[in-house]
Amino acid sequence: MASRKILLNGKRVAAEYQAIGSGDSETSEALLYWLRERFGQQGPRFGCGVSQCGACTVLLDDVPIRSCTRQLHTVDDNAEIRTLDGLSGKRPHPLQREFVELQAGQCAFCANGMIMGSLGWIEGRITAGNHEVPSEAEIEDFLSGATPNGQGNYICRCGTHTRIVAAIRSAAKEMVR
Ligand code: FES
Ligand code: FES
């Protein structure tokens, strides 16, 4: 057994995980299972399991990643992970609020990826000094994976992308202030 310490939604946690092999041949369990089964995180979900849909997205050191294929041994000790479970404080985060108010989901299975992915994307723009509200076209490019860093590609199987784009844009207006 190997172990990892992480900062999970602001709280220091540690747990063991299964690892097989060593060096270049090392493999280990996926971060998604570890977060859900050891730490009760219910935001990140198993959708496709092969890095295609985004349902399992979490922020690793502020960068959206696909936790279904991210093996634990590749996560640095003391890395910071944020999940949807830790997003709201006393009030819902603007993204959460706008997804509800604009009814940006039917089954909402994709909502975790849409919210956490756009959170990391918008925060990244702000950190880079871009305080512009993203246009609908920019949000569509982000969701379709057309951004330069390739972090996008978030799939909604119910086809509510129009409302999702509107919810992200509405929340971004508050986030960039
Ligand atoms: S479940 Fe991870 S990308 Fe689909
Ligand atoms: S609302 Fe059902 S997958 Fe997006």
pLDDT, position 169 = 98
User: Which domain does 110 fall in, by range?
Assistant: 94-175
- Cα–Cα dist 113/52, whole Å: 11
Same domain, 127 and 75: no
Claim to verify: residue 13 and residue 78 sit in the same structural domain: yes
Q: Tell me, yes or no, whether 107 and 76 share the same domain.
A: no
Of 34, 62, 83, the residue that ends a domain is 83
Ligand at shortest distance from the CA of 108: 2
In a domain, 59, yes or no: no
For residue 14 and ligand 2, the question of a CB distance below 6 A is answered with: no
C-alpha 167 to ligand 2 mean position (Å): 14
Shared domain for 111 and 79, answered yes or no, is no
Residue 112 sits in a domain whose CATH number is: 1.10.150.120
| CB of residue 33 inside a 6 A radius of ligand 2 | no
Same domain, 157 and 116: yes
Structural domains of the chain, count: 2
Specify whether 77 is located in the same domain as 15. Answer: yes
Torsion angle (degrees, nearest 10) of CA 101, 106, 111, 113: -140
State in Å: Cα 177 to ligand 1 middle.
Answer: 31
List average pLDDT for each run of 10 residues in the chain, which is 177 residues long: 94 91 89 96 96 96 96 95 96 98 96 97 96 97 77 89 97 97
Q: Quick one: 76 and 102 in the same domain?
A: no
Same structural domain, 75 and 107: no
Using the mean position of ligand 1's atoms as its centre, give its distance from the Cα of residue 92 in Å. Answer: 24
Residue at 53 is within a domain: no
